[in-house]
Amino acid sequence: MGGISHERRCAHCSFFVCAIFLAALFGNPVISQQSHGAPSTTTSLPNAPDYVPPDRVPLGANGAPEYSNAPPQLKQTIEDQSDDQANPAFISKHLIADRFWISGQSNFIFQAHTPFHSPYSGPDSFYAYGEDAFSRTLTLYTAVKLFRFTNIVATVDESGGDGLSDGNGIAAYVNADVVAPGLSRSRYLSRAFYFRMIPLTADRINEEANPFVLQTSIPRRRFEFTFGKLNLLDFFDVNEVGSDTHLQFTNLAIGNTGTYENGADGHGETIAVMVNYQGPKIGLRFAEALLPKFASGSDLDYDVGNARSANLQLDYADYALQGYATHVRALLFVNRADLGDYHEANQAYLSGKDAQLDITLHRHKGTVKPGFAINFEQDLPRNFRAYLRTGWNKGAFESFTFSEMNSTVTAGGDLSGDAWHRKDDRIGSAFVNSGLGRDHREYLALGGIGFMLGDGALHYGRETVSETYYTAHVVGGLYVAA
């Protein structure tokens, strides 16, 4: 599957992925809104020209197009996270009395690979012998509307099962749902945050309620304030083609920018404060978040003087291409943490100062590690969508969260099943190519061990991974994908 941490090639390793999506608890999470005649919100933007193809935008109560430039995960235009009000599973509506939300979701993924030749291996290698693994995630979504534009949101997750090779060996890891073996698998509070919207205009946009925003009419221009326990990937580096590991790509670095070391513990959550301006064409979002005390650990570091993550994203949206939506999102992040210096660790080992190569011996408090990501998304005719991501982080310093890579580029697309009369089905394909900084790859070549890579040696080559899926709607909230 590539060569970041070992000399392997796609011809020697194959994966078969089968994911089953079930409505859990009170939810019917993965029904397409379009399948029940509800207007599509896939490209709901506030800055459209006078004419936009009628199948590309939602219609308001007066029949006129309505637009919103909110992040897709928050807006819930991906058919995910229990937002289907037209055909709920067990209760009449997920939004009860226009004030309370309750729904659920479960996701099961089976993966396997055959044996392949591996000239060397170490503690973090992808296993060369044949293996299979099964993972599960279950989520309960709850929320309450306190005031007209104020919500309290809480979600509870439970995860179980295992990933191939215990989640190690490939930087673009094949299952984003996998939890590291050393972390708790019991039920835990995954999100608990306060959300406040401040209108800047009297104009309103009609939206479907969802687990994060219970309001069905939101200001066209607004400030948003969010504080509490949350997942930054719900709000940053999101696009509608490659951000949903429940219905789209399961790969960690295809569903997100692999170099984005977002502030998160091993379960993906953090404590953060976030502010956002959302306007007709432009949105500007900033979050300050806590970082884990150590790589992919479960404990956050509250020493904000030496450890914190700053995240700034600029969103731009337009209909410049014949009325089809274009999104560009530029993300800059700067982490300050107790990080090791690869060059320093390498030199200490080569000079004999350190008997064993160990990046943890060369950590320095308050080390600043910057990075960026560019996220492009384009709607095209006949329900086809394409996306491109590229990212970088400073490879001189220790990789400690999300994925172990320093540069990446991802491209892909998807197509709905309308053409073959299966409008709730979807097919997608994408690839990711990623690499390591000079000091980082020298550290691995000398036998160093990272938090997800480490074969005891390295014949360096950039890692390339591809994934293609077909998601089929079975009945109600049940989907099956291969």
DSSP per-residue string spanning 390-433: EEEE-TTB---SS-S-SEEEEEEEEEEEGGGTEEEEEEEEEEEE
- pLDDT (tens digit, 9 = 90+) per residue, 123-159? 999 999 999 999 999 999 999 999 989 999 999 998 8
User: What pLDDT is recorded for position 26?
Assistant: 32
Task: Let me know if residue 3 belongs to a domain.
Answer: no
| For range 424-449, the mean pLDDT | 95
User: What pLDDT is recorded for position 295?
Assistant: 67
Buried-state track 158-184, b at ≥16 Cβ within 10 A, e below 16: bbebbbbbbbbbbbbbbbbbbbbeeee
| For range 47-56, the mean pLDDT | 45
Task: Let me know if residue 120 belongs to a domain.
Answer: yes
Of the two residues 202 and 312, the one the predictor is more confident about is 312
State the average pLDDT for the chain. Answer: 82
| For range 180-207, the mean pLDDT | 84
Measured distance CA(410)–CA(171) in Å, rounded: 13
Measured distance CA(28)–CA(475) in Å, rounded: 10
Which has the minimum average pLDDT: 2-11, 60-69, 171-180, 388-397?
2-11
Measured distance CA(335)–CA(355) in Å, rounded: 30
pLDDT at 43 over 60: no
Q: At what angle do helices 342-350 and 438-445 cross, to 10 degrees?
A: 40
Report the half-sphere exposure of 376 (CA within 13 A, side-chain side): 10
pTM of the model: 0.81
User: Which three-class secondary structure string do you get for 30-81?
Assistant: CCCHHHHCCCCCCCCCCCCCCCCCCCCCCECCCCCECCCCCCHHHHCCCCCC
Which has the minimum average pLDDT: 96-100, 272-276, 325-329, 422-426?
96-100
Residue keyed to tokens 């020493």:
303
Task: Let me know if residue 91 belongs to a domain.
Answer: yes
pLDDT at 2 over 50: no
Task: Let me know if residue 129 belongs to a domain.
Answer: yes
- Total number of domains constituting the chain: 1
Task: Let me know if residue 2 belongs to a domain.
Answer: no
Residue keyed to tokens 């432009």:
282
Confidence band (pLDDT; 50, 70, 90) for 114?
A: very high
The gap from C-alpha 248 to its chain's centroid, in whole angstroms, comes to 11
Task: Let me know if residue 161 belongs to a domain.
Answer: yes
User: What pLDDT is recorded for position 357?
Assistant: 94
Task: Let me know if residue 248 belongs to a domain.
Answer: yes
| For range 321-329, the mean pLDDT | 89
Provide the domain limits for residue 58: 10-481
Cβ–Cβ under 8 Å, residues 65 and 57: yes
Measured distance CA(448)–CA(434) in Å, rounded: 19
Provide the token pair at 400. 């400690």
Task: Let me know if residue 4 belongs to a domain.
Answer: no
User: What pLDDT is recorded for position 24?
Assistant: 33
Residues recorded for the chain = 482
Measured distance CA(25)–CA(140) in Å, rounded: 7
